[in-house]
Each structure stands twice: as C-alpha cells, then as structure tokens.
Structure 1
C-alpha cells in the first residue's frame, strides 16, 4: 500500500476532467492533479453520461428543473422540451452495473449529471429554486452506495482529499481481500487491520462494527458482508479531525509504552501535542511513531492500515 508501483486501482472519473473535449461547448475541464498525481496509482475509467445519453458535442446545455421534494428533470436550458432525464438515468444505471470493480469515482462539480451535491435546481418558472445531486450521481449511489465519491474541485481541500483517497484504498482492500474468498475470519481480519483508521474517522462507528462482529458468525455470511461494508464505508465518510487523529496516535503509543524508554516516550508525546495544538501537520508525529512501531511494535500494531492508508508518495498527510 506504500508503493506507487503496485497494481493501479480502478477509479471512475468524469471524462472532461481528463482533458477529453466532451463538455456542452466542446471544451474540457482537465485536472492536472488527477493526471499528474493520481494517475500514478489510479487506473482511470472515463465516462461522460451526457455523451453516453446521446446529447452530442457540442450540445444545448441542460439544467435540473423541478420543485422541492421531487426528482428534478434534466431539461434543455434554452429549449425545455429537451428532456434527457430518462436517458441519463438509464446510462448511469447501466454504467454502475457494468463497473462494480471501481473503487471510487471523481466527479465534475456543479454538473446536472455529475455534480455530487449543491447542483442548482431551477423552478419551472426559470428561477433558481433549491439544490440536489446530479442524475448520474443519483444512479451511482442507488446502484453502489458503498462507492467513494468526490468532486475534483473539493479535493483542493487537504482534509477532503485525504478522506476520499483513504476511502478508495480501504474499499480496494475489501474488494481484493474479502470478496474473492469471503469468510467470517477474513472479515474480522479486515476489521482488525482497519481498526484505527476507522476510529480516526468515526469512533462510534468503530465501536458499532466491533459489537456487530462479536455475534456476526450466527448470521448468513452474505448478510454479514453486505451489512459490514455498507456501515464501514458510511462511517469512513466522516472527516477525521485533529482530535480524532490525536486519540488514535495516543492509542498506538500505548502499544509501545513498555518497549521504549521515558525519553523516547516524551518525544512522542511532545510531537503529538504539537500536532493537537496545530503547530505541525500530522506527518510529524506520525513519522516518529512509525519509526518506533517498526522497531518495537507487535505484528498487530504494524499491520494497522492507519499507519499507511495510502502511498506515502502522495504526501496527503503533509497538509492536514
């Protein structure tokens, strides 16, 4: 998980973000971060639902139109008789069903098809009315609710960026280590190594799933698998904070307190406190902690994905 040269992870992406000229005006919204950085570890599956729905390039722009509490429709901005709703939902559902191997999807912000949230919905009279998700995103969530989603523009936020990529790698762990040869033992092993990563994202979620697994062997394995991954990915959507990271760092330190001397322990405590007080980024106490875990930690604590949830070359924890 710490090597970018390992097999790339399949991740979907709005085609315009890769430089493909598929937007309504024949342009694109190329993302240098996706192409120059993430493409080293992600195998991108490009898709433009509007082109797939037959709207053509260039095309009349569409927008979401509807009343609150009803499914908005994708209508032509200039010609409201153009209704692409059913076609967009159909191609989106088909794409989601045929690409269940994806570990995530990077979306175009504000798009009536690909916008993840806060997409403008207009009243039939033409006035902005409310906000919703894009129609393609709606089908992704309905067909594969566990799939990590994020808008490319939101990844300018270091915390949101790290959250999304951590979810992608955790989901990849599940898809590669559990689904091919499922067993109760394999699920427990997954939970064991993801324990502190989950705790950093949602402490109550970590406790909930621990209690669930205690009696899970009494239930049918397919039900346990579906329940566990659904809840795990739901809890992982929560953003880890300095408070939750500090809590996890202290828990891991607890596994070393008998193996390291008081001077080393104080050095670690000082680094964690500097992070808690926002004087340094997470990489500072974490690098020190990983050094001592490598030297003195048990196999259990060294196996924790929290220590290396994604390739260190991405530098995601250098900014949170």
Structure 2
C-alpha cells in the first residue's frame, strides 16, 4: 500500500513527538550575559533591551543566585566603565580593584559553583570605543594582545573560571594561554570568540556598554570591520575556529546566532571542542519589539530560536533569554 513510509506516524501526538525528539533544551544549556555598573543598589533597564538591566555588583550577585536556582550554570559578564577611566591603553582593564575584578570576586564568593566567564576586550575601556589600542589610525594587533594578557590574568587572579576574548585580534588565544600558564592559571579556560562577525545586530549591546566606535581628534577606524569578520564569508570562519583550537581554545564561540546557523554547523563539523553560540542583543531586541506589538508569541518564538541554535550544533547558548527560558522549561516539568 502506498506509501509504506509515513512520517506522520511519528507526529501523531505530543507523547510520540517527545519520544522521538532529536534535540532537547535544559537550563544548563544557557549562559546569561550580564551588564555591571558602578554603585550600590543600582538597577537600570536598557531601553533597547526590555527586561535586561545594568546592575551594580551587589544586585548582580543577587541575580546570579536566582539564575543558579533556576538551573543556569554560567554567566558571561561585561562592565560599563566610567568615562574618566577610559584611555587608549585600556589600563583600567587590568586594575586588580577594577569593576570587573571586584564583580568576579563577589560572584564567586556568593555562588562558587556558578561558572564566570568575563569578557576580554578593550572596547569598554577605550576612549575610542575600539577593541584594541589605536596606533597610526589603526587597531594595533600585537600591542593589544599584550594588554589582553594582562587583562585575562587579572580576571584569573580574581577567580574567573574561563576568560572570553571577544576582540578578534590575530594570535591572541595563544598569547592568552601562554600568559595564563606562566601566571600559574593552567586550569583557567579560554572561551574564544572565534567567528565574531561585524554585524549590525550588536546595536543594543553597544548601547548597554557605550562601546561603539567614537569620533576622535585623531584618525581612528570608523567601524570594527578591520578585525571583526565580513558577514559574506563562510570558509574564513572555519579557518579562524581551527586556528583558535590549535592555539589552545577550550571552547569556540560564533556570534551572532540565528542569522549564522550555517556557520555554527560548519564549525561543529570540523572542531573537537564545545561550540558556544551567542544569541545577540539585536536578535533579542527584535523579538521583544515584535512581542510588544502583538505580532509574535514571546515564549513560542524564544523557544523555537533557542532550539534551532541547539539543533545546529551549539553545546552552550549565550542568550538574554536564558532566565526566561530556564523558568519556562522548569514550568514544563
């Protein structure tokens, strides 16, 4: 009888669909990006990211405890640095008593089992809003790497479990590995932003940290395209990920997420380390904007996008939906 094979037999009801589901999600699949500001008892919503806040360290610690309680086991942290502390060297980035270092210490003291992955890049500390040191009108690669090593070691000294270089300088993973090992931090891992594209999806994030390139009284690049990747390129992403693994990366990250699932799969097929995907601020903001207008269902679209990222090959998803999604999944039990 035609047809012998009927795919619909495996879709007849929810119980059957659950039995044969190829991809699943759990709260431990998520990492929550967090924005930290100076002050005490400070919490301000980011206008372009409804439900996401800049918090002072004390309130960040309380939020981390809530995240751990719902099953999230990793946070990726960023700091909004006071303008008076910014310069072209980024030296505040390795201040042992800086905002990032204090935040790491406080989080680990309050919630030791939470994996803390601080951002390693100079743009929050740069007077020009770039991820590196400006020399002769360009972002200088090797001197930036030297600064990033100091930054990463200071994070390790504060208690970071992994460092997360997001700068896209060439060779920085090897330099970080060498620097961490020399300082006695052989067990501190590196989650490398290996395929970070020069994307328009980062706008709300740059609002949160004031880290967009700025007008200056000297010649500076007007954007980040000389070091972040061209979104037209696929093979280049594979090459970058393989280089980072060879240099010692413990995990590789692809950013953005939903628009780059082909890249996720390509890299998953060639590396033997865990894959992290960053479901970025613009992707989050677009969903929230559509939800506010009643055009889409928040939970359904949230879970579909996260499931698709996992299906494409992600082992870990960094997403502003992490807490929402974890609560949603817990309520299904």
* TM-score normalised by the chain length of structure 2: 0.29
Between 1 and 2, higher relative CO (CA 8 Å, sep ≥ 6) is seen in 2
Structure with greater helix percent? 1
Q: Which has the larger radius of gyration?
A: 1
Structure with greater strand percent? 2
